[in-house]
Structure 1
């Protein structure tokens, strides 16, 4: 996770130095929506990395999923990404919010996992009696 954030910060630095123009795109994606899109992209990449041998994931996860879910197109997404990347404070805030959201998600998954383990142990003990 920390490596991913490091890569995103490097991307931020790269984009912030590419151009001095900060003209707002016509179809700019809102910061909140951009945050959600980028978070989903991160989750999709993690799923692809960990479950790349499962064909069913490949059929419905990917760029098309993002475009349909958020009703955006590739150009709009790219232009919005470039726009936010040129504003380091704003872009960093988006990434910090994504990080916080992913931390909450990880915490809730941990809680659910522990609860499932506890229930399984209780059931196992019950079945022994």
Structure 2
């Protein structure tokens, strides 16, 4: 058993030894473009988790849709991704920008959602007040008609 473990450790060390930096692709995506594509892929993948049926119903395959939107083929994206991922610091910087952008979007949509809820709540309270005022007015009319002296009621109704 020990010999097998030592063999696997040696195999891992030897296999990781000669990793060469990938060649820079001729059609390398810029870092900015990579950030945009990854942001869209992340958003659509999240939507896929919550709205899978709607995406299928509309014939949307998330990865294909994003690559088509950005006019990037899958090979170009894969080669660019491989090139940038070799340098961990560059790749981390790209993903930090993705994270920051997603956080800004989250903040923006949270704020918009809160404003929409506040607006709906305000509209509901206005409708509620209008309804209550309408009932109040009707109740006062009823009270007035019940409290009027009989002398003011026409003779035909007495």
Please state which band the TM-score falls in when normalised by the shorter chain: 0.7 to 0.9
Verify: 1:72 aligned to 2:72, yes or no: yes
Whether contact under 8 Å (1:39, 1:98) holds in the other structure is yes
Alignment match, 1:111: 111
Structure 1 length normalisation: TM-score?
0.80
| TM-score, with structure 2 as normaliser | 0.66
Larger Rg: 2
RMSD: 1.9
Q: d(CA) in 1 for partners of 2:28 and 2:74?
A: 12
Cα pair distance change 1:97/1:68, threshold 3 Å = same
Deviations 1:35-64 (A, max 9, x none): 110111111110001111224665235222
Return closer, same or farther for 1:44/1:55 CA change in 2, 3 Å cut-off.
Answer: closer
* 8 Å CA contact retained: 1:52, 1:58: no
Structure 1 outlier segments of 4+, above 4 Å: 55-58
Structure 1 unaligned residues grouped into runs of 5+? 1-16
1:92 is matched with which residue?
92
Report which stretch shifted further, 52-61 or 38-47: 52-61
What is the number of equivalent residue pairs in this alignment?
113
Greater relative contact order (Cα < 8 A, sep 6+): 1
Q: Deviations over 1:42-96 (max 9, x none)?
A: 1111000111122466523522212221111111010000000001111000000
For the residues of structure 2 that align with 1:105 and 1:116, how far apart are their CA atoms?
A: 16
